[in-house]
Structure 1
């Protein structure tokens, strides 16, 4: 917008300055050629035109600075030089003066008139609304970040465990660790994580959830695997490498990479995973079949486990298309040596269909709901599928 305004007014430089206690900061700047001003430059409030325009000591429009005694007396007029000047205050809705929107040319510009001032005022009003929205968003982010850190300090998230069963013999294969939040505001876990990521503390919350889950691993009887969820961003951050020195048996850990997460560099992600996989961590691709990126995850990461998304599992007993896709994914997975786990199994007929397709394991409300750790320990007293996690 600044460039459009500058060119429309036939000016050489345009900028937005933000007033601070003793100076003004050039936050946005557009110029026809490189000049004495630069982006991020700090200038004393008492110097230049801006504060004087706001105070009414200079007019908003000066087509020819040589004809204005106050302008002529300013060092910037000859040092820059400034031949014509147009400036209006940026006033926020709360009447606070944020700064100024300014344009100037090195030579006088006698074509400037009151209509140009009105144009710049309209632009300043638009900027004020934008700045107010940005400030509100920044405050909301800060509040959310503080809220997330506060609940983490109180021990959140609470971990619940959803059993995963080996379909042929219904032996317990492992548990998926899921996060729950008991603090205000009351909202679903996915909204907590989304809000945390928007506020810039998503990785903090994600890592805390992983640590809270793994804190139960050593108390879990040998046999069942423990599935923890991780975004590609978390893996690429390198924070999970700390797990190698945690003392946990990582051969019992399944790392589920969410299918819907965007991955821009699979080579880097694979490299970041290598030290963990070398320590025995099993890799799973979550939510397969839910979108285009699932196959890219599978082909690029070569997971040990492929988890069929709940949208694919739901109603599979009555939907030939879902059945065909699940059959193809299962056949492909077995061909590359991967285990297949179906999520969201809610009926006996869905389970029977998955069994007929050769799906290895399943989880869902039909089999068991998420439970606390003590209940999970009770499940461990039953038949357990011993062996590799993937």
Structure 2
């Protein structure tokens, strides 16, 4: 049974329709709003616990690549990453299936994922399908879980509430129920039990969205993310070579940002497969420099230092009292196209 069905069964709920007032379907050619070339995505703000109240909807937090799927006039599809790069050729099945909706124009917002045997998203599997960081392969097996509709048949929908946009998205996706583009489901429950069950199932966390809010680009607080396990991007500033470890990597040396500078935050030595470690070692050996790019105490003569160009996605449980990652595990490299942002240290973590 897939993870989403287990979640619904465990909570005793079904997917939510909620207090939605459905709008009439928008007719084509009634009037026309200019179709944006690109929409900066609405981003979820990290919170420690779920919000409460009837104005919040809850979804599973997917672990993949954020994409905007643009369906334009003349049956032209563009698949745009969070960083604004055109990855249409790297998600051919999603691009193909977007045309099957038969829409004049649309912009879908969602997350491309590859699912594991439990039905949960697997970031490492998605990276492997794409050929790794800066790879050129296409992820034909990837699926898009669409969770918002920003534009439809000549109409800009961003000023509408989330509930109104979701109702229209459900109508659009109902015409192609078995393709690679599927609805990112809402779960009709309170946030706290939903988060608890998501964590018990080994999922990354949940997303909370304000039902009454329009679509606002950036991290404004209308969308929140609550994680079971923290996962962030850190710069790789060096590594420890090893003749015994997978791919010859004993551990990666990591840095975060603080006051505009890079600061050492510890290391990670688990989470690698032989293939991912071997590929990573090849990339790192092209970036070797004579001394570390950040200030470090102690002697680390066995390490190789790197130009801080690669961003690792690292899962971790907490911070130590001296500002280092605790129980860290490597998940993969973040692409520039996916806005490989580096974690910024807050005062509580310093």
- Tell me, yes or no, whether TM beats 0.5: no
Question: Higher strand fraction: Structure 1 or Structure 2?
Answer: 2
- Computing the radius of gyration from Cα coordinates, the structure with the larger value is 1
Q: TM-score, normalised by structure 1?
A: 0.21
Q: TM-score, normalised by structure 2?
A: 0.23
Question: Higher helix fraction: Structure 1 or Structure 2?
Answer: 1
